């Protein structure tokens, strides 16, 4: 089963540029003073910065209607595209002096340019799979890290759109190139978790091979997605905790936390709302998969009273919840801290260790 993806391909062009940025663009952007701070040479003049050719990365340009076919010298080779993505993750993604929102803006644009060069060449095969896997991880990780930022800093809908496009393209490449499926279980699980409860994603999983369906990581993600349809929140939290060896899967699942928590709170409100009844904070934390710090923030948002480690529910506050703001999760933060950015985004988390852990857990 192929996932539908929108494409607008002309005649493929084989790129010949072997660097991260074509020489012509370097000269133009230096001349027009369009260098990004991450690309300027050290000890540059503040008014006329010079380009550091080892840091220059081709930026994304929107294709204009009726524009001539791209010049092969302006299109990077598959090997150069792989090197570019690795540079962005290893060198730009590890800049501790900058916020992740600053890093995200730069990498987002440059990875979009990478995908543009892939599309122009109709790139498939090993390099395409390797590039898309890393791009998906980058967007999923950023979706979690920047989930509390205002839309002026981070637009989750645009980020989601790029995740979906890359995931669908990647899963189709796995189907076309079965010899390149070493990491397929990870991304099939990501697709299910990112689209939790979505019937198209569930149908896609059901139509995959028996071996893939019975991979522990895919089975766990499938159960969580089915549980979302059935309102089985306990099963979803079980799956979430079982992914402690693979925080990227937890990040994909996290985007659904506000919806799940809203349903749980509304159910608890029906069961426990009373002027003379309060609910232990520990119980609420367990049901919502949050810690006490997160609960304090949530109760303040809802206007609920907390006294002596108990919460008094309120029909007025809970019945009309339309959206709970996303917050970082202590469990995810703890797991992410165990890994460096390159380890997370280049795919060095141990999927085999996760498979072994899932084997020992009854989900």
Tens place of pLDDT for every residue, the chain, 363 residues? Answer: 556 554 455 578 899 999 999 999 999 999 999 999 999 998 767 678 899 999 999 999 987 665 667 889 999 999 999 999 999 999 999 999 999 999 999 999 999 999 999 999 999 999 999 999 999 999 999 999 999 999 999 999 999 999 999 999 999 999 999 999 899 999 999 999 999 999 999 999 999 988 898 899 999 999 999 999 999 999 999 999 999 889 999 999 999 999 999 999 888 888 877 777 789 999 999 999 999 999 999 888 888 888 889 988 877 767 677 788 999 999 999 999 999 999 999 986 555 544 554 454 444
Domain ranges of the chain: 9-62+71-123, 124-255+351-363, 258-318
Tell me which H or E stretch contains 62: none
pTM of the model: 0.90
How far apart (Å, rounded) are the C-alpha atoms in residues 163 and 334?
A: 24
Provide CB contacts within 8 A for 134, sequence distance 6+: 85, 86, 89, 345, 346, 347
Determine the Cα–Cα distance for residues 187 and 189; give it in Å rounded to an integer: 5
The residues near 349 (Cβ < 8 Å, ≥ 6 apart) are 245, 246, 247, 248, 339, 343
User: Which pLDDT belongs to residue 5?
Assistant: 52
pLDDT at 362: 43
Tell me if 260 sits within 8 A of 270, measured CB to CB: no
pLDDT of residue 249: 96
What own/partner pairs with CB < 8 Å and gap ≥ 24 does 208-217 have?
Answer: 208/1, 212/184, 212/185, 212/188, 215/185, 215/188, 215/355, 216/354, 216/355, 216/358, 216/359, 217/185, 217/186, 217/189, 217/246, 217/249, 217/351, 217/354, 217/355, 217/358
Alpha carbon distance 50, 123 (integer Å)? 33
Q: Domain 258-318 falls in which CATH fold? A: Arc Repressor Mutant, subunit A (1.10.10)
Please provide residue 76's backbone torsions phi and psi, each rounded to the nearest 5 degrees. -80, 145
Calculate the alpha carbon distances from 199 to 203, 229, 303, 329, 332 in Å: 6, 9, 36, 27, 27
SS3 state at 17: strand
318, 303 in Cβ contact below 8 A? no
Three-state DSSP class for residue 167: helix
């Amino acid at each position: 089963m192929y996932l539908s993806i929108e494409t607008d391909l002309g005649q493929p062009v084989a790129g010949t540029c072997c660097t991260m940025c074509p020489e012509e663009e370097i000269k133009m952007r230096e001349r027009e003073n369009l260098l990004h701070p991450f690309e300027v040479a050290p000890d540059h003049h503040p008014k006329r910065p010079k380009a550091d050719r080892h840091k220059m990365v081709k930026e994304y340009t929107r294709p204009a209607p009726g524009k001539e076919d791209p010049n092969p010298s302006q299109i990077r080779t598959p090997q150069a595209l792989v090197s570019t993505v690795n540079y962005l993750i290893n060198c730009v993604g590890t800049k501790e002096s900058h916020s992740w929102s600053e890093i995200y803006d730069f990498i987002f644009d440059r990875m979009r340019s990478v995908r543009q060069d892939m599309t122009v060449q109709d790139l498939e095969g090993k390099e395409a799979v390797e590039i898309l896997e890393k791009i998906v991880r980058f967007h999923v990780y950023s979706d979690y890290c920047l989930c509390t930022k205002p839309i002026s800093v981070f637009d989750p809908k645009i980020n989601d759109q790029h995740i979906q496009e890359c995931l669908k393209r990647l899963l189709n490449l796995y189907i076309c190139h079965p010899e390149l499926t070493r990491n397929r279980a990870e991304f099939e699980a990501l697709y299910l978790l990112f689209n939790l409860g979505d019937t198209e994603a569930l149908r896609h999983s059901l139509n995959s091979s028996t071996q893939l369906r019975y991979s522990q990581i895919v089975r766990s993600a499938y159960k969580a997605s089915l549980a979302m349809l059935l309102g089985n929140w306990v099963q979803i939290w079980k799956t979430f905790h079982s992914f402690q060896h693979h925080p990227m899967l937890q990040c994909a699942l996290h985007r659904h936390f506000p919806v799940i928590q809203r349903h749980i709170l509304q159910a608890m409100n029906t069961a426990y709302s009373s002027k003379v009844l309060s609910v232990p904070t520990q119980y609420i934390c367990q049901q919502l998969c949050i810690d006490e710090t997160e609960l304090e923030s949530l109760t303040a948002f809802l206007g609920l009273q907390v006294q002596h480690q108990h919460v008094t529910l309120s029909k007025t506050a809970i019945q009309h919840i339309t959206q709970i703001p996303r917050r970082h999760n202590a469990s995810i933060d703890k797991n992410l801290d165990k890994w460096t950015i390159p380890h997370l985004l280049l795919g060095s988390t141990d999927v085999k260790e996760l498979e072994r852990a899932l084997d020992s857990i009854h989900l």
